[in-house]
Amino acid sequence: MIAFGPVPSRRLGRSLGINNIPPKICTYACTYCQVGRTLKMQVERQAFYEPEEILKAVQDKVQNARDLGETIDYLTFVPDGEPTLDINLGLEVEWLKPLGIKIAVITNASLTWREDVREDLMKADWVSLKVDSAQQEVWRRSNRPHGNLQLASILDGMLEFAQVYPGELVTETMLVNGINDGAGSVSEVASFLALLRPARAYLAIPTRPPAEEWVRPPDEAAVNRAYQILSQQLDQVEYLIGYEGNAFAFTGNVEQDLLSITAVHPMREDAVGAFLARAGADSPVVRRLMAQGQLVATEYEGQRFYVRKLHQPPAEE
């Protein structure tokens, strides 16, 4: 299906997905890919569908949603592969603009060294770039890139893009246990992101069955450590850990609000105390959430933090 949704997305509100790449053609074969193993690896751009076909599929879905009174916040290129492999991506973005809905592209950034790819991405309103590692060895193990790709050129391409991109640029770093969740690897990512200056840096963990069965998410302590390391260099760091938390919508329900906030970022013990005091609640709430297995306490550099309990992805069927 070329167009699907709209589906709720924490980053994009109600997002109508555009699948402009057949499954699964990609420049990477990430260990954690939730679309499954890469069936065809390639780095050459090509046309996969007629742009008219994509436009029609999206127009129909938008009309359908509008008839049902559903809102759409973004049209999002989030295919079963790498969206920038589509040589018509820029044209499709241009053709979709008259629908009056903002356009997002979620890319692994592996082709940003190409000027034509950067030009296509410039046309979107919101772009997410994947930065799992800034170290050659770790990048190879995590993303398992096509042999013709060079990490240094990709990082340079991202920086070149970020300097001129007028839209909202975010990054996504998927942490995998034992691959890129160590302090050294995360520090290198943080230094790179400090140069890139995204509006927001997201930290993700695998929450759905990964391409490789052995892939595990990091534990809460490692996710918290990554958050703290990134936060030392960046203002806006958020979790994407599979919960639809919204730290900015307070319901008045202390338990729910604590879980929503910790789904987006860890909370230091004193911040939790201040939050409970403001809400007129007390610490049994925290103990109860910990006893229920929903909240976990972890230490980082002598400070105690509360984080959402992470769930292991189910094994692949």
Residues in contact with ligand SF4 by CB under 6 A are 26, 28-30, 33, 35, 38, 81-82, 108
Peptide bond into 210 cis (omega under 30): no
Q: How many CB atoms lie within 10 A of CB 13?
A: 13
Q: Report, in Å, the least distance between residue 146 CB and ligand SF4.
A: 10
CB of 22 to ligand SF4, least distance (A): 12
Q: Please give the single-letter amino acid code of residue 48.
A: F
93: its two tokens = 């973005």
Structure tokens that stand for 65 in this block: 């949603």
Output 49 or 95, the one with its CB closest to ligand SF4.
Answer: 49
Quote the least distance from Cβ 223 to ligand SF4, whole Å.
19
CB closer to ligand SF4, 140 vs 287? 140
Q: How far apart are CB 118 and ligand SF4 at their closest, in Å? A: 18
Q: Which is nearer to ligand SF4, 55 or 170 (CB)?
A: 170
Give min distance, CB of 131 to ligand SF4, in A: 12
In this complex, which beta carbon is closest to ligand SF4, that of residue 101 or of residue 106? 106
